[in-house]
Amino acid sequence: MGPADRPAEGDSGFGVRERHGPDGAQAELPPLNYKLMDEVVRTVRSERPALLGDQVAPEKQSSVITTVYNISRRTRTVDSEVVSRIVGLMA
């Protein structure tokens, strides 16, 4: 596998629900991108400030943040339109 064939940083190269690669290896999670996570939290907070407050269950908060982070990993940017849609679905 040459450099051009490797998945981008933050992308395991595995599809949804795909647990093993072609060689049978388990999918390894890439390290957390802290800068991207900060951007996710800022964008979610600006979209709906109350979502990250005390009135919302922590499970719901983490679901929104995790969903947005996972969608944003491949491009390493947070799309505010996507955040708006996800927050609207979870509200």
Please list the alpha-helical segments (H only) found in the chain: 34-47, 58-72, 80-90
From residue 64, alpha-carbon distances to 14, 18, 22, 51, 61 in Å are 22, 22, 31, 9, 5
Asked whether the whole model's pTM tops 0.85, one would answer no
Residue 20: what are its φ and ψ, rounded to 5°?
A: -130, 145
The per-residue pLDDT string of the chain (91 residues; one tens digit each, 9 = 90 and over) reads 555 555 555 555 555 555 555 666 666 777 899 999 999 999 999 998 888 888 889 999 999 999 999 999 989 999 999 999 999 888 6
Cβ atoms of 78 and 40 closer than 8 Å: yes
The residue ranges of every structural domain in the chain are 3-90
